[in-house]
Amino acid sequence: MVHSPKLDTVLMVEKQIVDRIKKSDYPTRTELWKSLPKGMEYQTFKRILDYLEASNKIVFKDDRIVWVAVDNPRLKHLFEKSIKLR
């Protein structure tokens, strides 16, 4: 039986990814899964990551999870420091 994750569970995973990146740490899947505040089945966790990747919020680079959604604090900082073109 396949379990669909609840919204609060998806938001919890998103928050954990963003919090880890703010600390300059791009987690692997296993590191992220072990750092979650409450236990969940790994299949549910993988399904959440598949959803986040399909919705263009995360990408995987060298087995690391990189948050690429609009509210990425590092991306905002790069845009602020970048040279403005016409």
Q: Is residue 56 part of a domain?
A: yes
Residue by residue, pLDDT tens for the chain (86 residues) are 667 889 999 999 999 998 888 887 889 999 999 888 777 888 999 999 999 999 999 999 999 999 888 776 777 788 788 887 77
The single-letter code of the amino acid at 29 is R
Whether residue 86 lies inside any domain: the answer is no
Residue 51 resides in a domain = yes
Looking at the domain assignment, is residue 13 inside a domain? yes
Query: How many domains is the chain built from?
Result: 1
Decide if 25 is inside a domain: yes
Decide if 1 is inside a domain. no
Burial (CB count <10 Å: 0-12, 13-18, 19+), residue 30: exposed
Distance CA 1, CA 35 (A): 26
Range of the domain at 20: 7-81
Task: Give the integer Cα–Cα distance in Å for 13 and 29.
Answer: 11
Which CATH number does the domain housing residue 34 bear?
Answer: 1.10.10.10
